[in-house]
Amino acid sequence: MKSSLEALPIELVERIVTLLDLRDIASLRLTNRNIESKASQGYFTTFFYHKNIMLCTNTLENMVRVTSRGRLGCQLRYCTITGISGLYVATTLDLHDYARLLTEAFLNLKKFSPRGRLASLCLRVIARAQDSDGGLREPETFHAWRDIWTTALHIFDVTMLALNESHTSVDEYLDVFGGTIGCSLAYGAFLSLTEKFPSMDSLRSLKKLMLSLSSSHTYPTEQLTNTATTAPEGLCQSILQMSGIMPELESLDLHWYDVGSNMPPTLVQSTTSLKNNSHSKFARLKECSLRGVYVSENELLEFVKAVHPAALTMADVHLISGTYTSIFEYLTLSETPVTYYHLDDIREGIDLVHFDVPGGPKFRYQDINMGPSTLIRQMDHVKEPIQYRITRRRPLGSGERRRWCESKYREYGPLRQAVYDFVELNSPVDFPASDNSEDG
């Protein structure tokens, strides 16, 4: 005779499950097979939507097992792949083993998951040290920035190869180290995707891309493929050409981290190449964010025209030549599609742009009052003229100025090897509420 609980309809068991925490649900599922079946539907499966996968053999082997037919691991939708830096340098054999196992797991998802694809994919790096008992712990400090960059490159290579080999789609969101401070991908590795995988279809329905790039660094020569990852001649022109493998992209967030090894590349090689390459555009792009990039006035103007976003964010964009006059005129033209823009701490050369609007600056200057360096406009105010000023007056040595500079170093570089600490960069920052003392 069935117990009263076992006799309940599946809809009622499902309702009960929503009121329990995961540990209690697990205990309930151990009652018997009938209860297990009823309690493993709907709400319970949501606990398997998210998974952070460490890029190591044991974890990947387990992922292959839990994503096989009939296993709840097939419910995975939001996947984070994390590489561990500081333990060892992965060999070519290791990388091929990781790629093989990740490909097998992605194939399982493609065949056995309800959706047959991933909704989002995020790439991350963490630093770990080994305890005396063999366990892993976060070190108090981690200064080997090249190890971080090398790990990032390995994660990216392995993941992209597995996606391509399994033909597993990522539909909504791809985050390439955009959520980690002090870690970026060498830009040649990202821009060479179309050369490595000419027929790649895994990103064809991708809606949002967030990526942090930097100039190349010295890393081991052992790679998954023999394709060189040297950078194209123009970063933004090449980004536009990526529209061939991401034709449905609606949101692009491009972050640049200055590792200090050489001058960051300009966004495009020439305005002519953009004008003549009408097919290299993201036709569905609605939002575009440029953060920390270096670019000339003409190159930036042609890039913005090419992507024609409705919403544009420019934070810490450095003009290496020219002024913002033509860009601001374009944003405020009645016929342009821009309905929102956010301009924050942008520069002409080394000079910070201050807007002629009510408000004060983030730090003070000697003997002059300047407006704010942030301007956000939307709706009816978008087409109002943008007036701005720059000053070459000396900034006062205030606490505000010091904290402002430190926040820029953290987010955009230049990477200062003497003080770089990956653990500290990714720890919460607790600055004093105010400090107006003069210190220089």
Q: Tell me: the pLDDT tens digits for 299-323?
A: 889 889 999 999 999 999 999 899 9
Given pLDDT bands bounded at 50, 70 and 90, which one contains residue 440? very low
Q: Is 37 a residue whose pLDDT tops 90?
A: no
Q: Quote the pLDDT of residue 243.
A: 87
Q: Quote the pLDDT of residue 436.
A: 38
Query: Beta strand pairing status for 136-137 and 129-130?
Result: antiparallel
Average pLDDT over residues 17-43: 56
Q: Is 61 a residue whose pLDDT tops 60?
A: yes
Q: Is 15 a residue whose pLDDT tops 80?
A: no
Adjacent-strand bridge partners of 213: 185, 256
Cβ distance 190 to 157 under 8 Å? no
Is 116 in a helix, a strand, or coil? coil
**Omega prior to 395 cis, within 30 of 0:** no
Q: Quote the pLDDT of residue 242.
A: 87
Q: What is the dihedral of CA 258, 189, 299, 206, to 10 degrees?
A: -110
- Evaluate if pTM is beyond 0.85: no
Average pLDDT over residues 230-249: 73
Q: Quote the pLDDT of residue 16.
A: 60
Q: Is 147 a residue whose pLDDT tops 80?
A: yes
Q: Quote the pLDDT of residue 44.
A: 53
Residue 97 has a CB neighbour count (10 Å cut-off) of 17
Average pLDDT over residues 175-189: 93
Average per-residue pLDDT in the chain? Answer: 83
Q: What is the dihedral of CA 30, 36, 42, 43, to 10 degrees?
A: -20
Given pLDDT bands bounded at 50, 70 and 90, which one contains residue 195? confident
C-alpha to C-alpha distances, 63 to 54, 330, 353, nearest whole angstrom: 10, 50, 50
| DSSP code, position 72 | G
Q: Is 178 a residue whose pLDDT tops 50?
A: yes
Q: Quote the pLDDT of residue 299.
A: 84
d(CA 147, CA 127): 9
* 19 HSE (CA, 13 A, CB side): 5
Q: How many H-runs (helices) and E-runs (strands) does the chain carry?
A: 14, 19
Joined together, the tokens standing for residue 162 give 């597995």
Going from N- to C-terminal start, the domains of the chain cover 1-46, 47-425
